[in-house]
């Protein structure tokens, strides 16, 4: 049993450790019909504690809210045994989660949720002319906080004054979103990425306005802004931005950058030294049997499988690699780097030494089957 803290990002951690069959206890508000002796009925809203066996979980990344559905499993004067109920879990709402088995990966998730030092410390503004996304990049996921879309007339097709006004309106909205959504007490760096010179023009505009209107929040945190190139102003461009060696060097003290660096190292090695880079559970387990894994990359989606044996298989792999002195990086499928890892089966490994025999064994099996 564990009582998870009430920080917003903990909703994500809870989503990753909660499974069908677990039990959840939380205080909820219910509408109750009461009938008097005269036969008249009145309704009122009461606060009660309910315990449900989890049957379905959905997660709203934008609101950091979990919606948990299940049947009531404890006697309650207001809710019948076995009745369906949905509980919304959100920041600042405490609850208790019961599991039949707490494995090492799950316990680590709880520890991460309880460590404020591991909360969001990197933000990004990905933009192009007229379009911008303000995002938070945590150790777990990439969350869109604001989307700004302003129609800007093209050069030469409208009065230049109208174009300048539209650009200024666009920059004002992006600047307002940064001030509203970024907590500079936590954020260590803010990437501003764009094709061309949009990022430079915006940063100059923002700082000039900050001086003129005395926005100390921006002036005091000026050094945290990092201007980088991206191929477009869409969110998916974050992947290439985070893989840029120059950016990685500047963000080396953030957890998100560490995971991206590990994935980039794996992809590079896959092309230059493929006998030390393998993905897929069978190949990775084969490498682990030989104590060869230096870094294990694994997606958290694998720990959410409905198949208990499959979940335990990956937990054993993580425990074994750690026991052999290897480094384990657990990626989130909600993070841009985790999305890429999921496309490669969700598990990969960088080896301490080459193991060409793994590939040779596969070729031999293929030949036997033919």
- Start-end of H helices in 104-214: 104-113, 160-181, 198-213
Question: CA 59 to CA 65: how far, in whole Å?
Answer: 6
Average pLDDT of the segment spanning 343-358: 95
pLDDT digits (tens, 9 = 90+) for 113-141: 665 445 567 899 999 999 999 988 865 56
Q: Which of 12-16, 70-74, 190-194 has the lowest mean pLDDT?
A: 12-16
**Which pTM was predicted?**
0.57
Q: Which residues of 343-352 are buried (b: 16+ CB within 10 A; e: fewer)?
A: ebbbbbbbbb
User: Range with the lowest mean pLDDT among 8-12, 37-41, 147-151, 257-261?
Assistant: 8-12
Q: How confident is the model at residue 308 (pLDDT cuts 50, 70, 90)?
A: confident
Q: What pLDDT was estimated at residue 136?
A: 85
* Residue of 196 and 246 predicted with greater confidence: 196
Task: Please name each of the domains of the chain with its CATH number.
Answer: 2-100 (2.30.30.870), 121-251 (3.30.420.60), 255-369 (3.30.1330.30)
* Residue 77 pLDDT exceeds 60: yes
Measure the CA–CA gap between 61 and 235, rounded to whole angstroms.
15
pLDDT of residue 149 exceeding 90: yes
CA distances from 229 to 6, 134, 194, 246 (A): 37, 16, 5, 11
Q: What is the mean pLDDT of residues 85-105?
A: 84
Q: Which of 16-20, 117-121, 248-252, 352-356 has the lowest mean pLDDT?
A: 117-121
Instruction: Take residue 48 and report the two structure tokens written for it.
Output: 């009660």
The backbone torsions φ and ψ at residue 173, rounded to the nearest 5 degrees and listed phi first, read: -70, -40
In the chain, the largest separation of any two C-alpha atoms, in whole Å, equals 85
Residue 158 has pLDDT above 60, yes or no: no
Q: Which pLDDT belongs to residue 107?
A: 83
Mean pLDDT (the chain, rounded): 84
User: 3-62: per-residue pLDDT in tens?
Assistant: 444 444 556 667 777 888 889 898 887 777 777 667 677 777 888 889 999 999 988 766
Q: Which among 27-41, 95-109, 207-221 has the top mean pLDDT?
A: 207-221
């Amino acid at each position: 049993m564990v009582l998870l803290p009430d920080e917003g990002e903990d909703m994500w951690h809870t989503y990753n450790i909660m499974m069908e069959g677990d039990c959840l206890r939380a205080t909820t508000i219910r509408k109750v019909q009461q009938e008097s002796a005269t036969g008249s009925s009145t309704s009122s809203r009461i606060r009660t504690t309910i315990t449900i066996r989890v049957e379905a979980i959905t997660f709203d990344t934008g609101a950091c809210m979990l919606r948990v559905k299940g049947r009531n499993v404890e006697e309650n004067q207001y809710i019948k045994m076995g009745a369906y109920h949905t509980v919304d879990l959100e920041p600042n709402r405490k609850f208790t989660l019961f599991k039949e088995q707490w494995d090492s990966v799950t316990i680590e998730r709880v520890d991460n949720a309880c460590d404020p030092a591991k909360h969001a410390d990197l933000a990004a503004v990905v933009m192009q002319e007229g379009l911008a996304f303000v995002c938070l990049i945590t150790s777990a996921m990439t969350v869109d906080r604001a989307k700004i879309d302003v129609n800007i007339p093209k050069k030469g097709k409208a009065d230049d004054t109208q174009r300048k006004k539209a650009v200024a309106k666009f920059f004002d909205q992006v600047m307002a979103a940064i001030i509203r959504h970024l907590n500079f007490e936590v954020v260590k760096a803010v990437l501003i990425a764009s094709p061309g010179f949009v990022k430079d023009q915006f940063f100059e505009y923002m700082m000039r306005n900050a001086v003129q209107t005395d926005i100390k929040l921006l002036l005091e945190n000026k050094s945290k802004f990092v201007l980088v190139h991206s191929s477009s102003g869409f969110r998916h461009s974050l992947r290439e931005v985070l893989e840029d060696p120059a950016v990685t060097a500047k963000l080396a003290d953030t957890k998100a950058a560490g995971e991206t660096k590990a994935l980039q190292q794996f992809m590079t090695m896959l092309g230059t030294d493929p006998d030390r880079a393998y993905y897929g559970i069978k190949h990775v387990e084969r490498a682990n049997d030989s104590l060869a894994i230096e870094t294990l990359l694994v997606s958290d989606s694998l720990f959410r499988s409905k198949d208990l044996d499959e979940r335990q298989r990956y937990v054993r792999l993580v425990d074994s690699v750690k026991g052999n002195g290897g480094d384990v990086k657990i990626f989130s499928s909600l993070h841009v780097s985790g999305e890429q890892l999921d496309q490669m089966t969700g598990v990969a490994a960088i080896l301490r030494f080459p193991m060409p025999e793994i590939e040779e064994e596969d070729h031999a099996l293929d030949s036997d089957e033919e």
